[in-house]
Amino acid sequence: MDEQRAAPSPAHGKARQTALAVIEALAKFGLAPTPANYSVWYAHLAGENPELSRLLDRHLASGHALTSEAMDDLWRRHCLPAGDPQMVMATSARLGSIMSEIAAQMSRAGTDTERFGGAVAKFGEGLVGAMTGPDAASALRQTVQDMLLETKRMAEQNRTLEQQLKGSTVEIDTLRASLDEMRRAAVTDGLTGVGNRKAFDAALKESTAEAAQAKHALCLVMTDVDHFKKFNDTHGHLLGDEVLKLVARVLKAGVKGRDTVARYGGEEFAVILPETSLENAWRLADQLREQLKQKKITIKSTGKDLGRVTASLGVARYRAGESLNDFIARADAALYFAKRNGRDRVCDERDLSDDVAGAAA
């Protein structure tokens, strides 16, 4: 019985088309088919990383050459996986090997196409010779047979290349998924699913550099769950973990676009707000505070109501040229000002000057 093959899924077909488009793009810009170059272009053409695409489009629009150095920088900032170093190296090496194989396959296909073109030209000459020769019928028959044989050979080579590319695309897709998973795991908080401290540090560094260059506003919101230690001590760490997950969900659902939510540490979270004024950042922080306050904590098994979760939030605006530590410290100071003044509220850096004035009086 012949083995039945499952039809390729739409997702697989799209991945294959993207992989071939990546090969064409690398050739167009004269880039070597390295794992880094492939990863950047695949993420761009597949629409997987809007921030990477924005930076790549901006670079291309500037008219500057797309150098290996520029590609490596994009890869390190947006595609570089982390995790087990040996696994990363092995996966990247295999990806590079597959890219080399595909490049060789495409080169062979080009050679075969040139040879077929020569055969077509020879066929045309043969037709002319056959029609004018002494044994026209026999010569014509032989010329047609030769051409049919060459056409059959070319069709077989195309089928072989097609199968090779399909196999390579499937393996590339698997390897990319593995690298993507390692990268996500390395920058994701395992409990809450938002960015971890590493992701926060990288996002804040990139956001402040861009804000300084483009002269855009940038704000940082630091959030701390009120009375979290007391809740943990009273109800246990498992319920405490559920509270942290709830806070993360509310923060993530309340932001959009290029905003970044990360767990800064313990029960403290951070929200990076590019192109956002201090006033708008304060309003958003207050909305997040109110949305969180509306959530009730209930034990599912018993239906027992444990009350509501509140949080204190501090907001600061980035000042060009200041260190990241100073920026974070100012938002943190606003957060603890909110805690000292009753909790369940939002304060920003403008309150700090009032606090200093009050202390001096």
Q: Which two tokens stand for residue 240?
A: 């405490």
What radius of gyration, in Å, describes the C-alpha atoms of the chain?
30
Per annotation, catalytic residue among 3, 162, 267, 349? 267
DSSP H or E segment with residue 225: strand 218-225
Q: Which residues of 285-297 are buried (b: 16+ CB within 10 A; e: fewer)?
A: beebbeebeeeeb
**Pick from 211, 215, 192, 193: which is nearest to 327 by CA?**
211
**Residue 311 DSSP code:** E
The candidate with the shortest Cα–Cα distance to 100, out of 14, 38, 17, is: 38
C-alpha neighbours within 13 Å on the C-beta side of residue 332: 10
Q: At 221, which helix (H) or strand (E)? A: strand 218-225
Q: Report d(CA 287, CA 165) in Å as an integer.
A: 51
- Return the closest-CA partner of residue 22 out of 98, 119, 128, 130: 98
**What is the CA angle 56-62-64, rounded to 5?**
85
Question: Count of CB atoms within 10 A of residue 220's CB?
Answer: 28
**Known catalytic residue at 125:** no
Q: Which spans in the chain are helix H?
A: 10-28, 35-45, 50-61, 68-78, 85-132, 136-186, 197-214, 228-235, 237-254, 278-293, 324-340, 349-360
Catalytic residues: 267
